[in-house]
Amino acid sequence: MIKITLFGSTGLIGNEILKLLENDNYFENINVVSRKHIDLNSKKSKLNIIDFSDYKAYLKAVDGSDVVLASIGTTQSKVRFNKKKYREIDFGIISNAIKACKEKNVKHFSFVSSAGADINHISFYLKLKGEIEKEVQSQQLNSSTVYRPSLLLGDRKENRFGEKIAQIIIPLISFLFPDNYKPIKALNVAKAMVNESKNYESGFKIYHYNEILKLS
């Protein structure tokens, strides 16, 4: 029986991942980790509400998992432009999750980063994403993967006016962009993550636009 754990099921990519898992017979046990109650649509899915500031809760959450997927992230507006709080969420959750995976011998871990992630970047956001990637790599899990999509296409539950405008305009001119920065459907990222979790390779890998499309 394949047990898979998902962090971030309410986000754009995470929600797509959850729907794919629930309709895929390969996965018989879906562990959905959340900080609050959410409705699940499959008997295979089990909700695991935890305190994201409690490391022991992560250990219990990933215990027995073969694969852990994470699509976690916040926005500046949600944390009222508090960079410390932003870091606590984006870096803190992934850091705790990957350490727990290492301790509990999880076979494969994959998570969503961002195109342009770079620990030396001047941008707070891209620098932070680079730091998260380095943290995951440092744990030397048997198999771990970074997904680096650019602008995500899809319908979000929350209203992000600027992003909605970008989703309309940027695809029209995306032929001008380097491949790694082309917009991509959240569903394609989700499909890539689910597909790879069935046939992952050892080591630390980073997937960009073309690799994501191929996997999906």
Give the pLDDT score at 86. Answer: 87
Domains of the chain: 3-215 (3.40.50.720)
Bridge-partner residues for 110, per DSSP? 69, 145
Please give the pLDDT value at position 178: 82
Residues in the chain: 216
Q: Is the pLDDT of residue 161 over 60?
A: no
Q: What is the rounded average pLDDT of the residues 22-37? A: 93
- How many helices (H) does the chain have, and how many strands (E)? 7, 9
Question: Terminus-to-terminus CA distance in the chain, angstroms?
Answer: 23
Q: For residue range 130-156, list pLDDT tens digits in order.
A: 999 999 999 999 999 999 999 898 876
Q: Which helix (H) or strand (E) holds 7?
A: strand 3-7
What's the confidence (pLDDT) of residue 216?
A: 93
**CA 111 → CA 40, 69, 87, distances in Å?**
21, 6, 16
The predicted model scores a pTM of: 0.91
pLDDT value at residue 157: 63
Instruction: Identify the pLDDT of residue 120.
Output: 96
Task: Return the C-alpha torsion angle 79, 40, 145, 200, nearest 10.
Answer: 180
Annotate 101-140 with DSSP letters as a single string. Answer: HHHTT-SEEEEE--TT--TT-SSHHHHHHHHHHHHHHHT-
